[in-house]
């Protein structure tokens, strides 16, 4: 069975009495080259870790759909765990993945899953990769949930996150200071790892055809946590409260992005303190948050919290 052949996909869904559900944002891939390339990106495209990790990594797939990407992942990884929310797709997956002994399907809502416990269970001393063709409407909360799995010391149990997302979202995650798409999401992601837009996927590669184009986004957490980005970050017990304050500074800076930072951060710090910190950094006191790099936010927070 070709799980990317439109006719066969329709026949399969009709056999099980189901159709793509808008409520779950389901758009199935109907070009076999795309899941192949996504799986290759997930397994074979390291840019921080030099070794090929697919030989011992465990991959967690979010939303396997009918299993097209799942099968490609199973051909590259020794173990695949797929989390599927849709009741109707569970018997479909039982059929399409029946011959694969290295795949386990969990019937659950990923957003309600204890991700930390699941990833700890999967790791067993080996790297864990995330791979998914995400519904557009849950992309932001799922990415946030993945970033929340980072440990209190700033490191991550994950080695690579590979997501098929809406093009605009990929642009926003990968944006740098002064890009029009630069946002709190850009900065928060950069605090955790290096993000790259890998390749584009046009709407015609899906069934049903979405109204927007997509892109594959790869995020690789820093091996040593935030210190790989900003070596002066606090360590030990001082790190968790610092990082919590850092995220609050970033959120406040972009909440009203047209405001100068001393005004935007006034709910957290006095205007005078923010102006003094910016002056020490050699930055104009009327600067907006969208002009600061992730490293700038790290230093600004350190200055504001260690007066």
Co-location of 192 and 121 in the same domain? yes
Boundaries of domain holding 261:
236-305
Instruction: Give residue 123's pLDDT.
Output: 78
Residue 174 included in any domain: yes
Residue 230 included in any domain: no
Determine the Cα–Cα distance for residues 10 and 7; give it in Å rounded to an integer: 5
Co-location of 79 and 121 in the same domain? yes
Residue 1 included in any domain: no
Co-location of 265 and 159 in the same domain? no
Co-location of 179 and 202 in the same domain? yes
Residue 231 included in any domain: no
Co-location of 206 and 245 in the same domain? no
- What would the DSSP string read from start to end of 31-85? -THHHHHHHHHHHH--SSS-S-GGGT-EEEEE--TTSHHHHHHHTTSSEEEEEE-
90 half-sphere exposure, CB direction, 13 A CA radius: 11
* Tens of pLDDT, residues 144-199: 999 988 887 888 889 999 999 999 999 999 999 989 999 999 999 999 999 999 99
Q: Of 180, 203, 224, which one is at a domain's C-terminal end?
A: 224
Contact assessment for residue 203 and residue 209, using Cβ atoms and an 8 Å cutoff: yes
Q: Of 224, 252, 278, which one is at a domain's C-terminal end?
A: 224
Residue 57 has pLDDT above 70, yes or no: yes
Q: How many domains does the chain have?
A: 2
**What mean pLDDT is reported for the chain?**
93
Q: Range with the lowest mean pLDDT among 82-91, 122-131, 221-230, 258-267?
A: 122-131
Instruction: Give residue 24's pLDDT.
Output: 84
Residue 170 included in any domain: yes
Residue 120 included in any domain: yes
* Tens of pLDDT, residues 193-238: 999 999 999 999 999 999 999 999 999 999 889 999 999 999 999 9
Residue 49 has pLDDT above 70, yes or no: no
If we measure between CA atoms, which residue out of 3, 76, 66 comes closest to residue 39? 76
If we measure between CA atoms, which residue out of 97, 113, 18, 99 comes closest to residue 64? 97
* Tens of pLDDT, residues 59-80: 999 999 999 999 999 999 999 9
Co-location of 141 and 248 in the same domain? no
Co-location of 167 and 255 in the same domain? no
Determine the Cα–Cα distance for residues 36 and 18; give it in Å rounded to an integer: 26
Residue 217 included in any domain: yes
Contact assessment for residue 216 and residue 201, using Cβ atoms and an 8 Å cutoff: yes
Co-location of 148 and 44 in the same domain? yes
Contact assessment for residue 111 and residue 39, using Cβ atoms and an 8 Å cutoff: no
Co-location of 21 and 42 in the same domain? yes
Co-location of 113 and 254 in the same domain? no
CATH number at residue 245: 1.10.8.100
């Amino acid at each position: 069975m070709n799980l990317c052949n439109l006719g066969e996909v329709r026949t399969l869904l009709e056999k099980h009495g189901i159709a793509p559900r808008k409520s779950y944002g389901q758009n199935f891939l109907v070009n076999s080259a795309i899941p192949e390339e996504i799986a290759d990106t997930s397994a074979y495209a390291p840019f921080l870790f030099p070794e090929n990790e697919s030989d011992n990594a465990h991959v967690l797939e979010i939303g396997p759909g009918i299993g097209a990407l799942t099968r490609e992942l199973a051909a590259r990884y020794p173990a695949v765990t797929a989390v599927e929310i849709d009741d109707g797709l569970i018997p479909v997956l039982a059929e399409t993945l029946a011959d694969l002994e290295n795949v386990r399907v969990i019937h659950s809502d990923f957003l309600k899953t204890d991700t930390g416990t699941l990833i700890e269970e999967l790791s067993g001393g080996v790297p864990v990769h995330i791979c998914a063709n995400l519904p557009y409407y849950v992309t932001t909360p799922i990415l946030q949930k993945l970033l929340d799995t980072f440990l209190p010391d700033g490191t991550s149990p994950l080695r690579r996150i590979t997501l098929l997302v809406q093009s605009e979202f990929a642009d926003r995650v990968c944006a740098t200071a002064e890009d029009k798409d630069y946002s709190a999401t850009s900065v928060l992601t950069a605090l955790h790892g290096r993000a790259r837009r890998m390749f584009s996927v046009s709407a015609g590669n899906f069934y049903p055809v979405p109204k927007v184009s997509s892109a594959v986004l790869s995020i690789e957490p820093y091996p040593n946590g935030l210190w790989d980005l900003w070596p002066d970050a606090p360590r030990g017990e001082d790190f968790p409260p610092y990082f919590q304050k850092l995220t609050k500074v970033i959120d406040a800076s972009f909440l009203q992005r047209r405001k100068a930072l001393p005004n935007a951060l006034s709910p957290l710090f006095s205007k005078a303190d923010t102006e003094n910190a910016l002056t020490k950094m050699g930055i104009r006191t009327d600067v907006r948050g969208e002009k600061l790099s992730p490293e700038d936010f790290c230093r600004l927070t350190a200055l504001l919290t260690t007066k």
